[in-house]
Amino acid sequence: MNVIEMKGITKRFNDLIANDNIYFDLGESEIHTLLGENGAGKTTLMNILSGMYQPDEGRIYVKGKKVNISSPEISLNLGIGMLYQHFTLVPTLSVLENILLGTNKKFFLPKKEAKKKFNEIAKQYGLHMDPDVKVWQLSLGEQQKVEIIKLFYQGLDVLILDEPTSVLTPLEIEDFFRMLKSMKESGKSVIFITHKLKEAFRISNKITVLRRGKKVEEVDLENKTEGKGKDKILNQIVEVMFKDVEPIEEAKEIPKRTMGETVLSLEEVTVKNDKGLEALHKVSFSLRRGEILGIAGVDGNGQKELAEVIAGQRKVSSGRISINGTDITNKSVKFINNKGVFYVTDDRMGEGCVGNLTLAENVILRCYKKEPFSNKGIILNLKAIEEYGEELIRSFRVKAPTAKALVKTLSGGNIQKALLAREFSQQPIILICSKPTHGLDVMTAQFILNEIKMQSSRGTSVLLISSDLEEIKELSDRIGVIFKGELLDILSNEKATREEIGRLMLGLKRKGK
Amino acid sequence: MIVKKIIPAIGPIFAILAALITGGIILLVIGLDPIRAYSELFKLGMGTYLGITESLKRMVPLLIISAGLIIVFKAGIWNIGINGQFLIGAILVGWLAPLLINRTPLYLSFLISGLIGFLGGAIWVIIPAMLKAKYEINEIIATMMMDFVAFNFTSYLVKGPLNAYPGRFPQTTIIHLSKRLPHIPFTDIHIGLVVGLLLIIAAHFFVRRTTWGYEFRLLGENKRTALHAGINVQKVIFVGMLISGGLAGLAGANDVLGIKGAFQAEWNPGYCFAAVPLVFLARFNGIAVIPLAYFFSFLMVGGEFMSRAASVPVYFVHVIEALMLLFFSVIEYIQKKEKLFWKS
């Protein structure tokens, strides 16, 4: 029997049809994957199931009974829980306190019982974790485990996981899949949302493919009765996912470059984070002209501080940073910009741009005091600013109605393109890119990676900071791994295997061993 | 095109109407005739030469103060200590202007007096500005606390060392009518109105069309983006607060030189409580401030007339102001919810 049946679900947002007459079933002990590009309507469909949105049309049955899920609470009571892409944990509370948050109805926290139950769940699914550690001390992967334990703690049967692997390292992904399997074996049903085909194939019983709000394919991997091989099904899915869309951008080859002289060098740089704790410990490396140096690492190991300290947004506690021999240690952002260093932040809305200003106003962030954008650095030239915005929209294929559109109305991918356009157009000598493709669909991601390659082939040096091993491998000449604020080995890309880097990212192999 | 420009004005207009209607109900409840009260309010406030002239005069300090507020508020800095900065500017001018007027050409002494008023207001905001810029200490509390100091300090000065008429009602030397700010030709309104209008338009232009204004807006929208752009945030905060404090002080100079002729004891017009709501109603738009400032001063002037003609308490206009703001918040909320209806 099906645990969940969604029939004819339609959801509109103003003019946009996010879900168009979608049928979706989930069986018991089944992993059913929702596959699709960003904006295909996967998350919307699941938000309807978890009570965040109300469908405009359609019916939902849970265990054969028709239900009206008008709030997240009702969804939870029906045994359905969702793991969001953005975590909802309170950093200053312990793991156990976070789990009790929202689930506990008593005045005093039943910590003893809770701990017992916690340990049972952790044991059953192999989620080893100390319940008393504070959440801010955990990596993103570990935080995700806490979220999952929280769902189990509430006694749920159906788990919706929204892009759960995007924050995990390759080794953590293996662990995660093992956990999914044990969940399935213990009778839980899982809806797995992803845009990664490979993952969908490895783990699912069924795959439903969405495209532009419509269901375009459903594949049952258990009963391949049509006698098709795996490859054939794969091709079929790729076709329905991408048919008639703009041709997928080919991954460009980086032309052979001769590495020039050293342009950026860090000598034993130590930096504190916002909490005043050491975030980087004696980091040293150098970057040569035209080189792409990848910095791999699990999020929160000092990457943000590394990027900020080079860009001048953070003070150095000790050590020295120089560009082309000029000391830039603790110099201002503008001074460093003038030396040709530009930083594409990964926090697009929080730091990179201002949602309430127009696209044009956002792209002049680095050059508003220069001609022709302002007259002698005083009076803004609105016409020149708007033209410049339009020009960047064209050259970077930003999907925006005009340069006067407010940035908050654009999608994440287009905001990212605008940010890249802004920094790239400053003719950088050194470019710091932090997680440039995070959360973007395949096509946008490839476009952005190609742009970075183009920059490099023009002689720009790139520091590529990312937790995505694939993009690090694709772009980098050399790869450094950062772990707990220390830069472990820097390996040449040809020699380094994914496994080796993955192990370093988890701190399993230390320098010199 | 024109419709698009008018749509943001619907909110404030609706708020004003709703406030007047609710105010009418309140009048009914306390046993007064709302129709009579309002007809007196509008007839005397907008329909007589005296009413219009007085309203236009009364809007000058509001315009000057709002010019400063638009700039700091756009940067997300909340200078709430306008009253104190106003008083310091006013007392300095009340003390020094009579001395200047007898020694320097009249127009030069006006200019210097204006500068003194500006400096007075700016000096009064230096401490909160430094605390905010350097140590991120909340400027709302700091500027407000400075208000109390300013009120008592000026009160001490005017009753003690600066009292020009010991034994009588304490005030600074009264500037002779012929030595006050000249009138705009063919009117009974002093030239402060021209200054006020120029300043509010300049502030509007400053925020939207200059690189400094761009930095202020970036900071106001997102401090982290401002830091990312390499903007000297401390400098922006400091300069912004000084400008707004200085303009409050200049408004003080205007009132002394153009209206009162002296700094009198116990004088505290409390423009902050009118200017802050005003600037919010105008959505920090300098051009929109002008009609609203007129409306606010009309309410004040008309309210005084009305209280005499229809025996409605003077404080009733404050009720209307407060209601306007409440309704405006409600409308903001509805507009956010019903984006489709209002936008597009």
* Residue range A158-170, pLDDT digits in tens: 999 988 887 777 7
Smallest Cα distance from B219 to chain A, Å: 10
* Residue range A415-437, pLDDT digits in tens: 999 999 999 999 999 999 999 98
ipTM of the modeled complex = 0.84
Smallest Cα distance from A68 to chain B, Å: 24
Q: Which of A14, A334, A382 sits opposite B230 (nearest CB)?
A: A334
Chain A residue set in contact with B, beta carbons under 8 Å? 14, 311-313, 332-334, 336-337, 343, 345, 347, 350-357, 361, 365-366, 368-369, 374, 377-380, 382
Residue in B with minimal Cα distance to A363? B229
Quick check: is A297 in a domain? yes
- What letter represents residue B121's amino acid? G
Smallest Cα distance from A377 to chain B, Å: 6
* Residue range B30-84, pLDDT digits in tens: 888 889 889 888 988 888 999 999 999 999 999 999 999 999 999 999 999 999 9
Same-domain check for residues A201 and A214: yes
User: Which of B74, B222, B227, B344 is the best residue to mutate to test the A interface, defined by the most A CB atoms within 10 Å of its own CB?
Assistant: B222
This prediction has a pTM of 0.78
Same-domain check for residues A357 and A309: no
CA distance A104 to A99: 9
Interface touch B211/A377, C-beta < 8 Å: yes
Smallest Cα distance from B203 to chain A, Å: 13
Same-domain check for residues A277 and A298: yes
The answer to whether B178 contacts chain A (CB < 8 Å) is no
Q: Which of A337, A345, A374 sits opposite B230 (nearest CB)?
A: A337
Same-domain check for residues A73 and A175: yes
Tokens coding A143: 């935080």
CA distance B2 to B21: 28
* Residue range A60-118, pLDDT digits in tens: 999 989 999 988 888 888 999 888 776 778 888 888 888 888 777 777 778 888 888 88
Same-domain check for residues A50 and A138: no
CATH code assigned at A73: 3.40.50.300
Quick check: is A335 in a domain? yes
CA distances from residue A334 to A269, A313, A340 in whole angstroms, order as listed: 21, 10, 10
Residues on chain B touching A333 (C-beta within 8 angstroms): 227-230
Same-domain check for residues A224 and A276: no
- Tell me how many domains chain A contains: 4
A75: which residues sit within 8 A by CB, 6+ positions away? A49, A50, A51, A69, A81, A82
pLDDT in tens, chain B (344 residues): 555 566 667 778 888 899 999 999 999 998 888 898 898 889 888 889 999 999 999 999 999 999 999 999 999 999 999 999 999 999 999 999 999 998 989 899 999 999 999 999 999 999 999 999 999 999 999 999 999 999 999 999 999 999 999 889 999 999 998 889 999 999 999 999 999 999 999 999 999 999 999 999 999 999 999 999 999 999 999 999 999 999 999 999 999 999 999 999 989 998 998 899 889 888 899 999 999 999 999 988 988 888 888 888 888 888 888 898 889 888 878 777 655 444 33
Interface touch A382/B209, C-beta < 8 Å: yes
Quick check: is A52 in a domain? yes
Same-domain check for residues A422 and A467: no
What mean pLDDT, rounded, does chain A reach? 86
CA distance A145 to A135: 11
Quick check: is A333 in a domain? yes
* Residue range A296-354, pLDDT digits in tens: 988 788 999 999 999 999 999 999 999 998 999 999 999 999 999 999 998 888 899 99
Which of A426, A447, A471 corresponds to the end of one domain? A426
Which of A100, A120, A155 corresponds to the end of one domain? A155
Same-domain check for residues A408 and A281: no
Quick check: is A453 in a domain? no
The answer to whether B75 contacts chain A (CB < 8 Å) is no
Same-domain check for residues A382 and A404: yes
The answer to whether B210 contacts chain A (CB < 8 Å) is yes
Residue in B with minimal Cα distance to A422? B229
> Largest Cα–Cα distance of chain A, in whole Å?
73
User: Which of B228, B231, B336 is the best residue to mutate to test the A interface, defined by the most A CB atoms within 10 Å of its own CB?
Assistant: B228
Quick check: is A336 in a domain? yes
Q: Given this model, what pLDDT does residue A392 score?
A: 93
User: Which of A331, A367, A368 is the best residue to mutate to test the B interface, defined by the most B CB atoms within 10 Å of its own CB?
Assistant: A368
> HEC states along chain B?
CHHHHHHHHHHHHHHHHHHHHHHHHHHHHCCCCHHHHHHHHHHHHHCCHHHHHHHHHHHHHHHHHHHHHHHHHHCCCCCCCHHHHHHHHHHHHHHHHHHHHCCCCHHHHHHHHHHHHHHHHHHHHHHHHHHHHHHCCCHHHHHHHHHHHHHHHHHHHHHCCCCCCCCCCCECCCCCHHHCCCECCCCCCECHHHHHHHHHHHHHHHHHHEHHHHHHHHHHHCHHHHHHCCCCHHHHHHHHHHHHHHHHHHHHHHHHHHHHCCCECCCCCCCHHHHHHHHHHCCCCHHHHHHHHHHHHHHHHHHHHHHHHHCCCCCHHHHHHHHHHHHHHHHHHHHHHCHHHHCC
Same-domain check for residues A265 and A171: no
Tokens coding B93: 């001018």
Quick check: is A450 in a domain? no
Residue in A with minimal Cα distance to B227? A313
Same-domain check for residues A257 and A325: yes
Quick check: is A443 in a domain? no
Q: Given this model, what pLDDT does residue A247 score?
A: 55
Same-domain check for residues A71 and A177: yes
Cα dihedral value B166, B168, B172, B176, nearest 10: -120
Residues on chain B touching A304 (C-beta within 8 angstroms): none
Q: Given this model, what pLDDT does residue A249 score?
A: 64
The answer to whether B227 contacts chain A (CB < 8 Å) is yes
Domain that holds residue A280: 252-340+430-437+461-513
Residue in B with minimal Cα distance to A343? B228
A372: cis peptide before it, omega within 30°? yes
Which of A370, A405, A426 corresponds to the end of one domain? A426
Interface touch B230/A378, C-beta < 8 Å: no
* Residue range A129-187, pLDDT digits in tens: 888 888 887 877 788 888 888 888 888 889 999 888 877 777 788 888 888 888 888 88
